Amino acid sequence: MSRNNNSRRNGVRMITIKGISNRGTNNFNLEAINEYLQSLNNRNEKKQTIGLLNYIPRSKTEFKTYLKLIKDKISALLDVNIQKTLSLLNIFKWNIILLLNTVKQQKDAFYINYSLNVDPAEAGSKILNGFTCTICTDVFNSTNTFAGFCGHRFCYTCYERYVKSKIQANQSVIKCLDYNCKILLKDEEIALFLSTEELKIYNEASKLKFFRNFSSFKECPNLLCSSVVEYYSSLTLLSKPQIVKCKQKHRFCFSCSKGQHSIIPCDLAEDWLKKAATKFTNEENYETSLDSRKSKEWIYYNTKKCPKCNVDIEKNAGCNHMNCYNCKFHFCWLCLKEYINHNNFYECRDYTNAKVQAVKKFVYTGGKFMEHFNNYEKYYYEANLSKSLHKKAHTLLKGCGTRLKNSYGMLIDYIKKLIKCEYMIAWISVFTYYLTDPSQSRITEYQKSLEMYAYKSKNLIILNLDSLVSFELKKIKTINANMCKTANTIKELVDNGLDRNIWAFRD
């Protein structure tokens, strides 16, 4: 850092950080940052809102272009090069509002805290004489050393061991070796320490790195789709499902990156899909093939989720003391509680007591499961049939005369609402399965009404699809309105119960 002792303003000595221009009271253009933050809050792009979630669907090409625009803009605002900008964006998980607000809050200190004042020539590999490594404490007459752009330099051997240990632990986001440093290593820097085989492993992990670690963007879970959804609301995601629609019109839950699951919380939806043993990424990929069922069944009965980070873990040998490879949490394989209170590697008192209750619960829920599953499967099938009606209505709309265009447009809108309600009925069956006492709520009563409206609406649509009659269209409109009103009532009932924590769910 270079200091200009002669630079003063209002009797206060100013400090200039090397390589960065001194603009006003800070080393960045505060006015330009405020203007950009304001523009982010007033986006002109098309906004879509479902519940508390604001999002923008983008194609893969649009997404890459958008990221480049962000990098260029932040680089210009902070007066740093693209590589340092990219590192900052990764540190802040591409949350540009949080990044710029941190700059405003920390002001000059931001450049020091994130090593932006370090000369780029200090980074990379260098052979030094008389170097002492603060990690291994060895003193070298002459040795190869390495430093990221933060300038924290260590011997090459220590850095190599550190990077390889992170790769073996399946980590693709690797920070500087200095304990207090926040700077991330670049991909090309990590590659310096890896063999060809290790580099292949790292590259595979890196393919998932962006979407796994950065919550502002999610990739559509449909295997045939490459669309991306950007989440830009300042509100924190709740445990309630946040259903979004990608550029290719695939609906999925932004909170858990699974297919849409209507009204029920993500953890219950995930448990249900395992129990049901169905291959399901979204409604377009809904299958119940024997192979996919067997695969899901094997995962359900042979793996458990880490209690802390929710990663699937298989136990293939050894004691019950487990150490999660992803978050390093130590827990008991049997009871899934933190291992610190256990004193026996092969037995668990908590698990023994819980096992008795589990047997009773299995007897109670066994018959109930098939009843709820059959209704769930039935209405997914009905929703897929309604989609074929939707496609047919679009075909008829293109070939009809001017007089019928408005009528077919209205009918298409009614079919869309019917599809949503049929998916909701399917997931209501799941929700009531997990409730310890469904009779305490009025959900089952509303569910029956919703099923009746959906049935009547669908029958009228099928009968009038080829030759629309004005009177019948009015009947469909009335039934559709009642159906939507009932669906909204159910959603409000479920959401209020979740907000007030009044629902008691079966384990």
- pLDDT for the residue 472: 81
Least-confidence region, from 56-70, 230-244, 370-384, 423-437: 230-244
Residue 367 — very low, low, confident or very high, per pLDDT cuts 50/70/90? low
Topology, domain 120-213: Herpes Virus-1 (3.30.40)
3-state DSSP of 102-162: HHHHHCHHHHHHCCCCCCHHHCEEEEEEEEECCCCCCEEEEEEEEECCCCCEEEHHHHHHH
Confidence of residue 489 (pLDDT cuts 50, 70, 90): very high
- Contact at 8 Å (CB) between 28 and 77? yes
Cα–Cα distance between 175 and 157 in angstroms, integer?
17
At 215 the pLDDT is 61
- Per-residue model confidence (pLDDT) at position 156: 92
50-60: burial string, b at 16+ Cβ within 10 Å, e else: eeebbbbbbee
Task: Using the predicted structure, report yes or no on whether residue 67 has a pLDDT greater than 70.
Answer: yes
User: pLDDT tens digit string along 409-449?
Assistant: 888 899 999 999 999 999 998 888 888 776 556 888 899 99
Note the helical H segments in 218-305: 266-276, 290-302
Note the pLDDT of residue 15. Answer: 30
pTM here?
0.58
The confidence band for 293, taking pLDDT boundaries of 50, 70 and 90, is very low
Domain range annotation of the chain: 16-47+57-113, 120-213, 358-499
Is the model's pLDDT at 281 over the cut of 80? no
What's the mean pLDDT when you consider all of the chain? 76
Give whole-number Cα distances, 420 to 17, 258, 414, in Å: 58, 17, 10
Q: What is the pLDDT of residues 68-115, one digit of tens each?
A: 888 888 888 888 888 788 888 878 877 788 888 888 888 778 877 887
Burial class (CB in 10 A: 0-12, 13-18, 19+), 152: buried
When pLDDT is averaged across residues 47-73 and rounded to a whole number, the result is: 75
330-351: per-residue pLDDT in tens?
Answer: 888 878 888 877 777 777 766 6
3-state secondary structure of 279: strand
- What pLDDT shows up at residue 118? 72
SS3 of 188-206: HHHHCCCCHHHHHHHHHHH
In contact, 101 and 34? CB cutoff 8 Å: no
Report the length, in residues, of the chain.
507
Specify the amino acid at residue 301.
Y
**Who has greater pLDDT, 376 or 360?**
376
Residue 287 has pLDDT above 80, yes or no: no
Across the range 452-467, mean pLDDT stands at: 88
> The domain 358-499: what is its CATH number?
1.20.120.1750
Per mean pLDDT, which range of 1-10, 205-214, 372-381 is the poorest? 1-10
Position with higher pLDDT, 223 vs 507: 223
Q: Distances in Å between the alpha carbon of 472 and those of 455, 475, 483?
A: 15, 5, 16
Mean pLDDT of 471-499: 88
| Region of poorest pLDDT, from 226-230, 465-469, 475-479 | 465-469
What is the rounded radius of gyration, in angstroms, for the C-alpha atoms of the chain? 29
